[in-house]
Homo-oligomer: A and B are copies of this chain.
Amino acid sequence: MRLSTKGRYGVKAMVDLALHSGGEQPVPLKDIADRQEISEHYLEQLIAGLRKAGLVKSVRGAQGGYLLAQAPDAIVVGDIIRTLEGTIAPADCVAEGAPVNCERADNCVTRILWEKIHDSINSVVNSITLQDMVNEYKRLNGQESM
């Protein structure tokens, strides 16, 4: 049940973006990678996914970088994790877009269990916004910069 680095780095990167794109200036990937200690090239792949999903915008060329595509309180961590990890489901039969190919789905006791786990995870990640993470960060670290 571990998240891969995709989801973990993705959340870190997005929180970093929320903290550092004050106003409208794009944040270069290198800065995020350096601060979060993530391989720049690898992070590039991850953020490409986030861009395609409409969670970040990019500005090309020198002085370019990335920006959140929406306000921090409009992005929940579930959006990030689902984009990078695929659906957040303990078993395929309870994945969001999954065809119910399990013929005994209606009377499967384990399915009910997977649904409960699925729902509990999703209720957490869908209720926490990037703004919440930023607030938490500021509470923990005072006024200092990240």
Q: A interface vs B, CB < 8 Å?
A: 1-3, 7-8, 11-12, 15, 77, 81, 85, 88-92, 106-107, 109-110, 112-114, 116-117, 120-121, 123-125, 128, 133, 136-137, 140-141
Contact = CB atoms under 8 A, between A and B. Distances in A.
B2 A107 contact: no
This chain's copy number in the assembly: 2
Nearest to A3: B90
Given A116-B128, A120-B121, A128-B116, A141 B107 contact: yes
A110 B15 contact: yes
Contacts of A120: 120-121, 123-124
Given A1-B89, A2-B92, A91-B8, A136 B121 contact: no
Given A2-B92, A109-B136, A117-B124, 12 more contacts: A1-B3, A1-B7, A8-B91, A8-B114, A12-B110, A106-B140, A107-B140, A107-B141, A109-B140, A113-B128, A120-B120, A120-B124
Nearest to A5: B91
